[in-house]
């Protein structure tokens, strides 16, 4: 089931080459360059290619317009560090060991950059890393320490800390451009170009500090969901605009928007908090969009526009006032979905759109596939290459497995661990091991009847058959993925 014909052909071809053996190195012109662009916490509902009601991201959208847009792209654990570990390894959290943000990534394990290096690619990692251990598998790395900061950031360049004057999104882009410009032109390259934005605490570039000031950003449809239809672990998750974000805003006030809510309370206070949040989020995204546009222009002027695969995605989704929340972690659509667009004029038809389910475990195998490197059998994702080439492999996944682990004692966003499956209509979720035995709960969401995910129907007898089927799928997936 894991091996597709196109895939098999490349494996047979590559087995004749053999990793690590002496072999003629093909020229840079034969193999594509790869640029993997990732933002942090960029919700797909805040990318205008997916939803233009609140966001305008023309440069990000253009990557998809000139290539392929994935309508159903998901993360497997909606959190920063785990998502990055999954990108590198092509494995779910339980296999790469990065369950939460506090784990230290085991950089000794197999990663796709190491495999590319061994196959003659030059590799670089620039921007947000967030994995605690030093990057491995990169010829060059220059990364933010931890979350990094927006203004005058420190970057760690190959182990050396240096402070840079300016705005982080501009600086990361400058560094990415500098590296590509100075590359060894006899070899193909792979660059991870990772923005800090739009992660908290949102500090816009000074020139955009007042952008959107005189407008009210529209509210999402489920903004005033009181969550009475959901189970207690969801109701208890502390990622509500009020009071949770307000507390955070007070704690980090100096770094966030400087306005004061004064005497506002109730709905007015919540609306105020939402406007503060969404405007700062939009402001930092304007800088991302412009800088990605600048980088894409650079690729063209450098003659790299045609033979470079450019992937744009985010590490996880995000609540932008959806369900009255901020942050991510939950398996709700806003947190689970991530943007994914891929441009490669030499291999992807412009204007392509797919509904095929993609997951962040797929990125490593996809990149290896395009680079002509055989995909290790222990990678759990599947190459998206056939889909990008307009083919849907037989047996392509129709449901996804999700698992969020982080222990719920974090100061601001206390969300219980849970796992579940999602198909094209239903989502079955099990919340477990939380604040007490009362918090162990199952949820079934019927996204066709309830697209805003307001009501748990797990106890509705009409869904008995659906629950039975999905529980079976859950057992099958957990066994296939070797979860326990």
Q: Write out the residues near Ca ion by the rule CB under 5 A.
A: 40-41, 80, 315-316
Determine the 3-state secondary structure of 177 from DSSP.
helix
**E-only strand ranges, 298-454:** 308-314, 340-343, 352-359, 400-404, 418-422, 426-431, 441-446
Q: What SS3 state is found at 197? A: coil
State which residue, 307 or 358, has the beta carbon closest to Ca ion: 358
Nearest residue to Ca ion, using CB?
80
Cβ neighbours of 458 (radius 10 Å):
17
Q: What are the CB-based long-range contacts (under 8 Å, 24+) for 265-270? A: 269/242, 270/241, 270/242, 270/324
Report the nearest approach of Ca ion to the CB of residue 186 (Å). 36
**Minimum distance between the CB of residue 199 and Ca ion, rounded to whole angstroms?**
6
Least distance (Å) from Ca ion to the CB of residue 39?
Answer: 8
Q: How far is the CB of 196 from Ca ion (least distance, A)?
A: 10
φ/ψ (deg, to 5) at 59: -75, -35
Beta bridge partners of 38: 194, 313
- Rounded Cα distance between 428 and 141, Å, is 40
- Nearer to Ca ion among residue 68 and residue 359 (C-beta): 359
- Cα 350-126-341 angle, rounded to 5 deg: 20
Smallest gap from Cβ 321 to Ca ion, in A, equals 17
Q: Is the peptide bond before 243 cis (omega within 30 degrees of 0)?
A: yes
Of 227 and 315, nearer to Ca ion (C-beta) is 315
Q: CA torsion 220→224→229→234, rounded to 10°?
A: 80
Q: Any idea which residue has 């529209």 for tokens?
A: 218
Which stretch of DSSP H or E encloses residue 18?
A: none
Measured between alpha carbons, how far is 281 from 287 in angstroms, rounded to an integer?
Answer: 10
Residues in contact with 253: Cβ distance below 8 Å, sequence separation at least 6, in sequence order: none
**Closest CB to Ca ion among residues 77, 456:** 77
Minimum CB separation from Ca ion for residue 78, in Å? 8
On whether the CB atoms of residues 50 and 60 are closer than 8 A, the answer is no
Residue among 41 and 414 whose Cβ is closer to Ca ion: 41
Q: How far is the CB of 47 from Ca ion (least distance, A)?
A: 15
**Minimum CB–partner distance for residue 43 and Ca ion (Å):** 10
Nearer to Ca ion, 316 or 354 (CB): 316
**Pair 296, 62: CB distance under 8 Å:** yes
Give the whole-angstrom CA distance, residue 24 versus residue 228: 64
> What is the closest distance, in whole angstroms, from the C-beta atom of residue 403 to Ca ion in the complex?
16
Q: How far is the CB of 177 from Ca ion (least distance, A)?
A: 24
Other C-beta atoms lying within 10 Å of the C-beta of residue 369: 23
Q: Is there a contact between 12 and 372 (Cβ–Cβ < 8 Å)? A: no
- Which helix or strand (DSSP H or E) is residue 227 part of? none
Of 257, 233, 230, 235, the residue nearest 246 (C-alpha):
257
SS3 content of the chain, % helix, strand, coil (to 5): 35, 20, 50
User: Which residue's CB is nearer to Ca ion, number 40 or number 369?
Assistant: 40
Please report which residue ranges of 126-241 form alpha helices under DSSP H: 168-181, 232-235
Q: How far apart are CA 407 and CA 413, in angstroms?
A: 11
Beta carbon nearer to Ca ion, 83 or 111: 83
Residue 140 burial (CB count, 10 A): 18
Shortest distance, CB of residue 426 to Ca ion, whole angstroms?
A: 26
Specify the residue, 33 or 335, whose C-beta has the smaller distance to Ca ion: 335
Distance CA 61, CA 312 (A): 10
75 vs 388 by CB, closer to Ca ion: 75
CB-nearer residue toward Ca ion: 41 or 289: 41
- Nearest residue (CB) to Ca ion, 40 versus 446: 40
CB of 314 to Ca ion, least distance (A): 7
């Amino acid at each position: 089931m894991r091996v597709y014909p196109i895939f098999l052909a490349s494996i047979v071809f590559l087995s004749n080459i053999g990793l690590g053996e002496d072999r003629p190195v093909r020229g840079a012109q034969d193999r594509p360059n790869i640029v993997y662009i990732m933002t942090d916490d960029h919700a797909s509902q805040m990318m205008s290619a997916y939803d233009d009601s609140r966001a305008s991201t023309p440069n990000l959208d253009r990557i998809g317009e000139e290539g392929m847009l994935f309508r159903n792209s998901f993360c497997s654990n909606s959190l920063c560090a785990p998502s990055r570990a999954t990108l590198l390894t092509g494995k779910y959290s339980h296999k790469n060991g990065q369950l939460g943000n506090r784990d230290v990534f085991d950089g000794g394990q197999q990663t796709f950059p190491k495999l590319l290096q061994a196959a003659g690619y030059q590799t670089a990692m620039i921007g947000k890393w967030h994995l605690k251990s030093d990057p491995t598998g990169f010829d060059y790395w220059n990364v933010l320490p931890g979350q990094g900061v927006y203004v005058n950031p420190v970057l760690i360049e190959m182990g050396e800390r240096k402070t840079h004057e300016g705005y982080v999104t501009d600086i990361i882009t400058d560094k990415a451009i500098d590296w590509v410009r100075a590359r060894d032109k006899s070899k193909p390259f792979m660059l991870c170009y990772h923005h800090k934005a739009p992660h908290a605490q949102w500090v816009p570039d000074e020139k955009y500090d007042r952008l959107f000031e005189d407008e009210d950003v529209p509210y999402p449809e489920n903004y005033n969901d009181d969550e009475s239809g959901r189970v207690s672990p969801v109701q208890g998750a502390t990622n509500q605009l009020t009071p949770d974000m307000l507390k955070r805003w007070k704690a980090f006030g100096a770094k966030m928007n400087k306005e004061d809510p004064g005497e506002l309370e109730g709905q007015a206070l919540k609306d105020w908090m939402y406007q503060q949040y969404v405007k700062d989020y939009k402001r930092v995204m304007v800088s991302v969009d412009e800088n990605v546009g600048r980088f894409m222009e650079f690729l063209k002027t450098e003659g790299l526009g045609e033979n470079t695969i450019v992937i744009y995605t985010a590490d996880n989704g995000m609540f932008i006032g959806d369900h009255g929340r901020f942050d991510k972690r939950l398996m709700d659509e806003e947190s689970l979905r991530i943007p994914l667009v891929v441009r490669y004029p030499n291999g992807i038809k412009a204007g392509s759109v797919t509904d095929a389910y993609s997951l962040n475990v797929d990125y490593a195998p996809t990149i290896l596939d395009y680079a002509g490197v055989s995909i290790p059998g222990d990678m759990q994702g599947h190459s998206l290459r056939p889909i990008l080439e307009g083919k849907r492999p037989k047996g392509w996944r129709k449901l996804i497995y999700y698992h969020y682990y982080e222990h719920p004692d974090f100061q601001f966003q206390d969300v219980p661990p849970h796992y579940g499956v999602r198909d094209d209509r239903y989502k079955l979720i099990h919340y477990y091991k939380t604040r007490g035995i009362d918090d162990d709960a199952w949820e079934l969401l019927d996204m066709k009847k309830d697209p805003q995910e307001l009501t748990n129907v797990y106890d509705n007898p009409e869904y008995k058959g659906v629950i039975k089927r999905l529980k079976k799928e859950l057992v099958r997936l957990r066994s296939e993925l070797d979860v326990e």
